[in-house]
Amino acid sequence: MKNLLFLLVIVLFSCKPTQNLPDPYEVGWNGEKVCEVLSETKKQRILKCVFPPNVGHEKHYHNPHFGYTLAGSTFQITDVKGIRNVPVKTGTNWSKTELSEHEVLNVGDSTAVFLIVESK
């Protein structure tokens, strides 16, 4: 009976999702931060992230979030879909309802700035 209970506990805990990547605030590019916290509460965090040309964001995860582009550029995005270049226009917004992971690099010729509103 003890062994069965131990096995059940292991199975339950192994079903919990784990995240081994840093979050967008923790990670930067070549050891330098690219995001700053503008506001943080128990329920959400708002980040401002700035990417000059040839600066990116090393692989990281995002909790569910809403994003808004204050200043756009062209990005090389690496995620589960592969590697692709995406022009991101000023004023573009997006949202994700689940955990996501990616790495990005500004391959354009202008500095990009984003607001990210994350659920906690």
CATH of 21-119, one of 2.60.120.10, 2.40.110.10, 2.60.120.20, 1.10.10.520: 2.60.120.10
Check: CB of residue 101 under 8 Å from CB of residue 70: no
pTM above 0.85, yes or no: no
Strand, helix or coil at 59? strand
Quick one: pLDDT at residue 53? 98
What is the domain partition of the chain in residue ranges?
A: 21-119
CA-based radius of gyration for the chain: 17
Quick one: pLDDT at residue 31? 93
Tens of pLDDT, residue by residue, the chain (120 residues): 554 444 434 344 444 445 689 989 999 999 999 999 999 999 999 999 999 999 999 999 999 999 999 999 999 999 999 999 999 999 999 999 999 899 999 999 999 999 999 988
